[in-house]
Amino acid sequence: MREWIIGAFINILGSIAINFGTNLLKLGHDERERHPVLGGDGLNGKTVLRPIFHFQTWRIGIFLFAFGNCLNFVSFGYAAQSLLAALGSIQFLSNLVFAYYVLNKTVPVKVLGATAFIILGNIFLVSFGNHQSPVYTPEQLTEKFSNIAFLLYCLILVIVVAVHHYIYRIGEVLLAVTGHDMKVYWVVLLPFSYAVVSGAVGSCSVLFAKSLL
């Protein structure tokens, strides 16, 4: 069997495990909210939440999340980063299934349509994508990381992360002060800035994982 097929299979399995674990983590937090306990001597009817690790659903979820990330790390030793990083979108498909069966969420028609396009895109990706995974020596990697284009990319990445992190912190302060009475653009900008920071930093983990393997 070709190595890229092994890598793709391991990566898909890891992505599904990560998504299943994430949904179990969410389910564990939901169970925590539904089962509070009396705090202190129980006066005034006050309740507190149990530590999250007391819930088995959460513990299983964190294990699957960690196990899935380990599988994804291993998969980079078998296939091209461009192929595996894009295959990570399989999480959107698995999330559709787990959200419905694990969290009992209603799945809108628009989400089903978007998922169909993701599946179609993955079919094209596997069929026509780059299946080569060249091996570089430490000296070659050092030369590539010292390239002016890569250094410029890193500088731009740092600026983008810093700006969006600053925007996110401002949005958090405004949310704490004004509650839910926020401008419409902040409702969009706050989650967007968070996604940009997490995506930009997370992309580096993929790059360095592939470099190590």
Per-residue b or e along 24-39, where b marks 16 or more CB atoms closer than 10 Å to that residue's CB: bbbbbbebbeeeeeee
Single pTM value for the model:
0.67
Q: Facing residues of 38 across strands?
A: 47
Lowest-confidence pick of 40-44, 61-65, 117-121, 141-145: 40-44
Tell me the pLDDT tens digit for each residue of 21-59: 999 998 888 888 887 765 555 445 566 777 888 888 999
Average pLDDT over residues 82-106: 80
